Amino acid sequence: MQIFITGGTGFLGQQLCRILLHEGHQLTILTRQPDVVFSRYQGKVKAISRIADLTIKDYFDVVINLAGEGIADKPWTNQRKRLLYSSRVSLTEELVDWMQRANTPPQVFISSSAIGWYGNQQAHIVDEDSNAHDEYVHRLCQAWEDAALNARSLPTRVCIIRTGVVLGLQGGLLKRLLPVFSLNLGGRLGDGQQWLSWISLYDYLSAVLFLMTHPTLSGIFNLTAPQPVTNLEFTQTFASKLKRKALLPLPKPLLSLLMGEMSTLLVDGQRVLPSRLLKAGFRFRTPALSDAFDYEINQSLL
């Protein structure tokens, strides 16, 4: 299939591109550095720097929208919030506008969102039918999803993926935590009772492919493992797998002082279940956190 990907150079996008190329698909990647990407994949992909470079004659069977500046990379100043918005919402609007003008729209549009849509849910169990707590990240995700759902006016199947914390040693949270925990400097955040909804990298990639290839599926899907954990359980399990101690907690007031509003990502939580994925028949390879860590650590040793 012909597949167009935004965010194809990020942690998740790079892993997905490798799988899609291995399966024989032809990829076009949106990137700020098309020459670098073209060289990285030894000419096996096309790369463009702007959506405006697409014409109405271009056709893709599948469009996968993973673009977005890292929500936890920098403090949420007003300028940073504008960048978070434009890299998600404005880019998605531009992408859907091209799809609406294309001679032949794609068959499938898979667009990222995040479980931050639900806002702080404390210990309440939520799934795709749950209501949200109104706060900044919810409003950002809602605008992101609204932009993507405008593609439903086309003959295009639209899947919104509300993604939890993706666990892979190549990037994301685990890559940041690994050097800290390796030095026995890890610890719970706040009181450790906030819920963390996660998914292994393997299951994340499998879920995207599952949605891509099942023509009856559309709408909102939580990409989280069926067994969320508290921050304390996550911390203890990760330290145990690394054979390290996790004895240095970071209290909530200190996190708020260091990170400002962005500290809500660490001290608030969502206990999210992937109800629609499970109902559709998707099977998780690593539904339990311990299994996910074992798989990632074993893969890194290969």
Please list, in sequence order, all residues whose beta carbon lies within 8 angstroms of the beta carbon of residue 283, skipping any fewer than 6 positions away.
none
Mean local confidence (pLDDT), 55-77: 95
What mean pLDDT is predicted for residues 137-163?
Answer: 96
Q: Under a CB-based contact definition with an 8 Å cutoff, are residues 225 and 295 in contact?
A: no
Q: In this predicted structure, what is the pLDDT of residue 255?
A: 80
Note down the domain range covering 207. 2-301
pLDDT number for residue 299 = 74
When divided into structural domains, the chain yields a total of 1
Q: What are the beta bridge partners of residue 112?
A: 161
Quick: pLDDT tens for 76-108: 999 999 999 999 999 999 999 999 999 999 999
Matching residue, tokens 């919810």: 138
pLDDT score of 277: 98
Residue 300 has pLDDT above 70, yes or no: no
Residue 200: beta bridge partners? Answer: 167
* Partner residues linked to 28 by β-bridges: 4, 46
Structure tokens belonging to residue 142:
């809602």
pLDDT averaged over every residue in the chain: 93
**pLDDT at position 41, please?**
85
Q: 137 pLDDT exceeds 70?
A: yes
- Whole-model pTM: value is 0.95
Which residues have a Cβ under 8 Å from the Cβ of 162 and sit 6 or more positions away? Answer: 113, 114, 115, 117, 118, 128, 141, 220, 221, 222, 223, 224, 272
The Cα 79–Cα 142 span in angstroms is 20
Sorting pLDDT into bands at 50, 70 and 90, what band is 298?
A: confident
pLDDT at 301 over 70: no
pLDDT > 90: percent of the chain: 79
Question: Token digits for 105?
Answer: 């729209």
Burial 160-194 (b: 16+ CB within 10 A, else e): bbbbbbbbbeeebbbeebeeebeeeebbbbbebeb
Helix (H, G, I), strand (E, B) or coil at 196: strand
User: 33 pLDDT band (50/70/90 cuts)?
Assistant: confident
Split at pLDDT 50, 70, 90, the class of 302 is: very low
Question: Residue 274: is its pLDDT beyond 70?
Answer: yes
Least-confidence region, from 92-96, 132-136, 170-174, 262-266: 262-266
3 state SS of 226:
coil
pLDDT tens, 212-262? 999 999 999 999 999 999 999 999 999 999 999 998 888 888 888 777 888
pLDDT over 90 at 54, yes or no: yes
Tell me, what CATH number does 222's domain have?
3.40.50.720
Q: What percentage of the chain exceeds 70 in pLDDT?
A: 99
Residue pLDDT, tens place only, 100-132: 999 999 999 999 999 999 999 989 999 999 999
Q: For residues 302 and 300, what is the distance between their CA atoms, to the nearest angstrom? A: 6
